[in-house]
Amino acid sequence: MPVPDPHRRLLDERGYVKLEGLIVPERRRRLADRLEALFTAEGRDAGAEFRQEPGARRLANLVDKGELFVECILEPRVLEHVAVVLGPRFKLSSLNARSANARTEDAQALHVDAGALPDERGYWVCNSVWMLDDFTPANGALRVVPGSHHWHRRPQDALADPRHPHPEEELVTGRAGDVVVMNSHLWHGGAANRTDRPRLALHAFYCRWDKPQQQYQKALLRPEVQAALPAAARALLALDDPANDAMGAEAGRSGFMK
């Protein structure tokens, strides 16, 4: 289905667009239940394949952890919108979950994903935030600085303290089941969760074909998981791409983006 012009405009001008009701309630419940089971099973190690974060529980490497997650990275409506930002050739960079803890004082620092600035070919990072709980003004919704993907600067280089509220920031609220597609050169982060319940989201993060993945999928996915993947998933994960292998090996040596 073509991406409607108003969505293209929002992605271009403001840097994000919300796809309302993309996740039907039964699917949302299966995703949330599976993620809670993984938080319990992984305990203190949860998120360790990528990074752990004070104030939030995280999970990483989710393609390895259930077919329902493979379906998420292939979601056609999301991929069509990602292509508006990255062009036709892109791959999955990582699939993570983040649950903002109840009663946190601090917001997550404003950041751009992978510390990325646009290069001579243009934009190269694009995230999708799958709201598995309502995102409300109080519970740690996504905060964004609209238009900041045009600034070609990173918050940590421009702001005294990227954790502080930004005068131009706005909250992206929504209903459980909505998905936000975001040019993730946009300055963004999770707001503080002032409620007494955690707030859960899944992040399917994509990058342009010629850049390293945030999590090198070929090394992280178990052989039996790789063997069972449909061709479309193999392609999106860059499992048969020697150039990606070279970048993955380099990332492993340099600790790139860790």
- The contact set with ligand AKG (CB under 6 A) reads 98, 108, 129, 142, 188-190, 201
Supply the minimum distance, in Å, between the C-beta of residue 112 and ligand AKG. Answer: 9
Q: Which is nearer to ligand AKG, 111 or 234 (CB)?
A: 111
Tally of CB atoms within 10 A around 26: 8
Whole-number Å distance between alpha carbons of 113 and 185: 7
The first and second tokens of residue 123, run together, are 């934009």
The minimum distance between CB 231 and ligand AKG, in angstroms, equals 30
Closest approach, Cβ 201 to ligand AKG, in A, equals 4
Give the whole-angstrom CA distance, residue 240 versus residue 252: 18
Q: Which is nearer to ligand AKG, 149 or 229 (CB)?
A: 149
Q: In the bound complex, which residue of the shown chain has the CB atom lying closest to ligand AKG?
A: 190
Nearer to ligand AKG, 58 or 229 (CB): 58
Q: Which is nearer to ligand AKG, 35 or 142 (CB)?
A: 142
Identify the DSSP state of 101: P
What is the spatial distance between Cα 73 and Cα 181, in angstroms, rounded to a whole number? 13
Q: Find the shortest distance in angstroms from Cβ 225 to ligand AKG.
A: 24
Structure tokens, 6: 């108003």
Beta strands in 35-113 (DSSP E): 56-59, 90-100
- Round to whole Å and give the CA distance between 85 and 208: 9
Min dist CB 242 to ligand AKG, Å, is: 29
In the numeric block, the tokens 């995102």 are attached to 135
For residue 203, what are the β-bridge partners? Answer: 96, 129
Nearest to ligand AKG of 70, 131 (CB atom): 131
